[in-house]
Structure 1
Amino acid sequence: MAEVVLNGISKSYGDDVALDNVTMTVPDGSFVVLLGPTGAGKTTTLRMVSGLDKPDAGNVMIGGRDTAGLTPAQRDVTMVFQQYSLYPHLTVRQNLEFPLKSPILQTPQAEINRKVGEVAEVLQISHKLDNKATALSGGEMQRVSIGRALVRQPSVYLMDEPLSSLDAKLRSDLRVELKNIQANSGATLLYVTHDQIEAMTMATHVGVLDNGKLVQFGTPREIYEDPVSVYAASRLGQPRINVLPAGVFGGAPYNAQSIGLRPEHIIQGEGEDSMVTRVERLGDQTRLHLVFKDHDIITVTDAHTNLNGGDIVKIRPNNPYYFDATGARVA
């Protein structure tokens, strides 16, 4: 596997800036998730690494080698696209075998059979191996697409929202399997998503992108607990962070424009009155929707709470974040 280094990568399509001086190191053997909304620059970053597009400025290093002028095949990367791409005239088995039969790899047939069998079992498609790709459901097609990447052992795996078309249970199962595969193989994996749960559960590192800029890079816990801006804070956490006017509880720093409160940063039972507007019972926890001085707040409470809509709860902040008028974190 290999370390991937992006040095000052910029890319524009006409007047649209896709990436703006992005510098980032994907450590060897890491699972890095690029997180952000549509248009943040996530997929463009993958295309820079894969060689499908060329940067306007900057360079990409893979395994210590400058990739300028190298084709995707020469970079030894494999990519899973958001929209599955299979050979429709081939069976599932033949689609999975295809990368291994490359003249470059020259994989023995016995090894091909072993790898295909292992990957098919992980992806729960063993019973579909002799089906044509056109006979599969959309979710099954995407699993085959993921499988074609997993049967290889490239320097870097690139994945562009590969689980987005799957149902909730399978998506949850494959999150665990992908993380296990990456951890056990020591693979370097760069993964794109807008799903914060995928980022929190799978990533060793998260890169938060906003309009082509890398806002913050670190472990999921670092970004969750020490965000550099209100934007970065809002990317991770479920329920989302509550953002209110800075002085709503009093005592805000002079240069603060807003206060950010994670649900667990709200102490209940003391402070000022708020009113419960809705109670969401989720089994292991209960979410309280509150109104405090005309501002909506979501917090969590005991799973067996007796609170109901219309009840009054006293609240106060604990270890809040403060942000200035630009959204940047202030002391």
Structure 2
Amino acid sequence: MAEVILNSVIKSFGTKRALDDVSMTVPDGSFVVLLGPTGAGKTTTLRLIAGLEAADQGEIRIGGKLVDGMTPAERNVAMVFQQYSLYPHLTVRENLAFPLKSPLLRTPAAEIVSKVNAVAEMLRISHKLDNKATALSGGEMQRVSIGRALVRNPQIYLMDEPLSSLDAKLRSDLRIELKNIQANSGATLLYVTHDQIEAMTMATHIGVLHEGRLVQFGSPRDVYERPVSLHAAQRLGQPRINVLPASLFPAAPRSAVSMGLRPEHIRQGAGEESFVNRVERLGDQTRLHLLFRGHPIVTVTDPHTALSEGDIVRIEPVDPLYFDADGMRCA
């Protein structure tokens, strides 16, 4: 496994700047998640590291070695795509073994058998090894696709939204499995998603991308609790952070234009009156949809609250985040 460094990387497609002066270090043995909406530059970053695209400017190093100009095979990376990318005429066993039969790897036959069996057991598809890929469910096909990467021992695993096409239950199961695999193997893994739950539950580091720029890089807790900008603050949190005029409550810094209030950072029972628009009972928590001075606010409360639509509740902010006119965090 290896550290990956991007230094002032720029990539354009025609007049569209896909990556704009991106510098980032993926530490050896880390699970880094690139988070952002469609078009933020996440997949482009993976493709540049993999060697599927060439940067216009800047440099990329893997394991301390400058890889600009090297082919994907020479970079020794393993990539998992959103789509399954399996050979339909081959069995699961043959699909898993295929990367190991590359002339570059020259893997002995006994080692191929051992690695295929180990990965199949890890991903709980041992009973499917002799099935054709076309006979698998979507979740099983994605497990095989991930397994094709795991049988190798690359410098870094690159995964481009590998769980996005799966149902919620399977996504949740595979999130846990991937995190356990990465933690137990010490692999370096760079993972792309627009799903904040995947980012928060799996990552050791999160890189927030916005319109081709890396706006923040840090631990999930750092990005959540200390966002550098309004955009970074809005990428994490469920329900999403409430964005309100800074003047709505007292004590805002002079440079503040907007206030960010996490749902859990709203104290109830004190402060000013707010109208309850809707009550969402989710079992483990209850969400209150409030209207405060004409502004909608979402907060969380006791699962067994007696509050209902039309009630009045007093609220006050706790540890609000403030942002200036450019959306940058106020000191």
Instruction: Supply the distance in 2 between the matched residues of 1:238 and 1:182 (Cα, whole angstroms).
Output: 25
Instruction: Supply the distance in 1 between the matched residues of 2:238 and 2:114 (Cα, whole angstroms).
Output: 40
Output one character per residue of 1:290-318: Cα deviation in whole Å (capped at 9) or x when no partner.
Answer: 11111111111111111111111100001
1:162 lines up with 2:159 in the alignment: no
- 1:197 aligned residue: 197
- Where 2:279 maps in the other structure, the secondary structure is strand
Kindly tell me: are residues 209 and 276 of structure 1, through their superposed partners in 2, closer, same or farther at Cα, counting changes over 3 Å? same
- Where 2:269 maps in the other structure, the secondary structure is strand
Amino acid at match of 2:10: S
Instruction: Supply the distance in 2 between the matched residues of 1:310 and 1:125 (Cα, whole angstroms).
Output: 52
- 1:37 aligned residue: 37
Which piece of structure 1 moves more, 36-45 or 159-168?
159-168
- Deviating beyond 3 angstroms after TM superposition, the runs of 4 or more aligned structure 1 residues are none
Q: How much identity, in percent, do the aligned residues show? A: 75
- 2:248 aligned residue: 248
Deviation at 1:123, TM superposition (A): 2.5
Q: What does 1:1-331 align with in structure 2 at a 5 Å threshold?
A: 1-331=1-331
TM-score calculated relative to the size of structure 1 = 0.98
Give the aligned CA root-mean-square deviation in angstroms: 1.1
Instruction: Supply the distance in 2 between the matched residues of 1:281 and 1:100 (Cα, whole angstroms).
Output: 51
- Where 2:296 maps in the other structure, the secondary structure is strand
- Where 1:223 maps in the other structure, the secondary structure is helix
Instruction: Supply the distance in 1 between the matched residues of 2:53 and 2:140 (Cα, whole angstroms).
Output: 29
Which piece of structure 1 moves more, 146-155 or 133-142?
133-142
Deviation at 1:15, TM superposition (A): 0.6
CA contact (8 A) 1:32 1:207 kept: yes
Amino acid at match of 2:93: R
Which piece of structure 1 moves more, 43-52 or 83-92?
83-92
Deviation at 1:109, TM superposition (A): 2.7
Output one character per residue of 1:19-51: Cα deviation in whole Å (capped at 9) or x when no partner.
Answer: 000000000000000000000000000011000
Amino acid at match of 2:243: V
Instruction: Supply the distance in 2 between the matched residues of 1:328 and 1:76 (Cα, whole angstroms).
Output: 39
Deviation at 1:157, TM superposition (A): 0.2
Deviation at 1:283, TM superposition (A): 1.8
- Where 2:121 maps in the other structure, the secondary structure is helix
Instruction: Supply the distance in 1 between the matched residues of 2:111 and 2:179 (Cα, whole angstroms).
Output: 23
Instruction: Supply the distance in 2 between the matched residues of 1:329 and 1:69 (Cα, whole angstroms).
Output: 39
CA contact (8 A) 1:142 1:165 kept: no
Deviation at 1:247, TM superposition (A): 0.5
Deviation at 1:9, TM superposition (A): 0.4
Amino acid at match of 2:233: A
Instruction: Supply the distance in 1 between the matched residues of 2:38 and 2:105 (Cα, whole angstroms).
Output: 36
Output one character per residue of 1:108-162: Cα deviation in whole Å (capped at 9) or x when no partner.
Answer: 3333223222322332322222121122233322221111001111000000000
Instruction: Supply the distance in 1 between the matched residues of 2:248 and 2:328 (Cα, whole angstroms).
Output: 19
Output one character per residue of 1:84-120: Cα deviation in whole Å (capped at 9) or x when no partner.
Answer: 2111211111000111122222223333223222322
Which piece of structure 1 moves more, 108-117 or 193-202?
108-117
Instruction: Supply the distance in 2 between the matched residues of 1:129 and 1:306 (Cα, whole angstroms).
Output: 54
Deviation at 1:10, TM superposition (A): 0.3
Amino acid at match of 2:313: V
Amino acid at match of 1:73: A
Instruction: Supply the distance in 2 between the matched residues of 1:89 and 1:226 (Cα, whole angstroms).
Output: 50
- Where 1:329 maps in the other structure, the secondary structure is coil
Instruction: Supply the distance in 2 between the matched residues of 1:314 and 1:36 (Cα, whole angstroms).
Output: 35
TM-score calculated relative to the size of structure 2 = 0.98
Output one character per residue of 1:215-243: Cα deviation in whole Å (capped at 9) or x when no partner.
Answer: 00000000000000110000011111000
CA contact (8 A) 2:139 2:170 kept: no
Instruction: Supply the distance in 1 between the matched residues of 2:267 and 2:193 (Cα, whole angstroms).
Output: 32
- Where 1:330 maps in the other structure, the secondary structure is coil
Deviation at 1:244, TM superposition (A): 0.4
Instruction: Supply the distance in 2 between the matched residues of 1:86 and 1:30 (Cα, whole angstroms).
Output: 27
